[in-house]
Amino acid sequence: MMLKHYCVAILLMTCCTCSKKTTTTGSPPVVNDSTFTNPILSSGPDPWVIQMDTNYYYTNTFGNRVAIYKTGRMSQLNKATPVTVWSPPATGPYSKEIWAPEIHFLQNKWYIYFAADDGNNANHRIYVLENDGADPQSSNWVLKGKVNDPADKWAIDASVFDYNAQSYLIWSGWEGDVDGRQDIYIAKLSNPWTISGNRVMISTPTYTWEKNGAPSVNEGPEVIKNKNGKIFLVYSASGCWTDDYSLGLLTLKDGGDPLNPADWSKSANPVFVKNPANGAFGPGHPGFFTSRDGKEDWIVYHANSFTGQGCADNRNPRMQKFRWNVDGSPNFGEPVKINSPIKKPGGE
């Protein structure tokens, strides 16, 4: 995403920036208590959601701050009010272009990972906020600082997962100091804000469908586990400024080492692509959650409602239920139609 969409947020210049825009997705039809319609918000690039007890905490790129929505029902997200939990200083290395925040609960504390720079995209790095309070919407957030990758290269779209009692950080970055391609990297974490060892590249744009728009892009990595604990990494491919932005899939072999690129296999075809008839262009940057009744798996993602809208705030969040294939891999189907009734998640 190199020119990463947003001017941010969970959150600006051609491709590489985004200017605030609004989008019209049409008037949603009247729905009953058992249904909702996509999009779930009128704007919201890079959506992310985490569950804690009976609450969902949602964020997306806002560009100039980090804000959190709190709701007991994801289908009613548009009724919640976002609370700003952190605002950057006026100047400095993390003062501008705040992109793709993610909320995680690690070691009994809340953490938010986000990318930011000083107004120069080439200086994007990953930063971490910490909150030891019970409610992530509280004002207890403290900046722990930059995640120090020894390579110290451009980095965005950080996420965290645990595997075999070890925490790992995954992100999208440049191999060098010039924007020529975005790859997916991984490294061990010794604590939520400290990398242990060197980064390892586990995915680079290889297939034609990953190379729409220049430069080629792999970004927005997110790990999802099936009921048996098998690891899949879902990522976004091609330029976010194209209608062909889509989702790809990496699979970690059983018993594999996440730091060994040879233990990851890439699906030859994208697993989630545009659907013009349904008002879904450039679907990507997913998050995942479980329904209130614990019986359904859902994906939340952003897409544009019309062709050619690029990496701006026209991107709006949608959600839909997905299933699992016989081999244990996720099956996201196709983007569902906007402004059409969808059955709410179980328990809502």
Q: Could you list the active site residues?
A: 46, 219
Contact status, residue 327 vs residue 227, Cβ threshold 8 Å: no
Contact status, residue 303 vs residue 319, Cβ threshold 8 Å: no
The whole-angstrom separation of Cα 5 and Cα 45 is: 8
Q: Specify the 3-state DSSP secondary structure of 80.
A: coil
Alpha helices (H) in the chain, listed in sequence order: none
Would you tell me how many other CB atoms lie within 10 Å of the CB of residue 130? Answer: 18
Report how many helices (DSSP H) and strands (DSSP E) the chain contains, helices first: 0, 22
- For the record, the structure tokens of 236 come out as 């976004």
Contact status, residue 150 vs residue 198, Cβ threshold 8 Å: yes
The whole-angstrom separation of Cα 335 and Cα 271 is: 11
Q: Which residues contact 163 (CB under 8 A, 6 or more apart)?
A: 231, 252, 258
**Strand order across the beta sheet in which 55-59 lies:** 48-52, 55-59, 66-71, 83-86
The whole-angstrom separation of Cα 175 and Cα 48 is: 26
- For the record, the structure tokens of 215 come out as 């430069």
| CA dist 91 → 29, 64, 94, 199, 283 (Å) | 45, 12, 8, 29, 33
Could you give the angle at the alpha carbon of 314 between the alpha carbons of 95 and 87, nearest 5°? 20
Q: Specify the 3-state DSSP secondary structure of 262.
A: helix
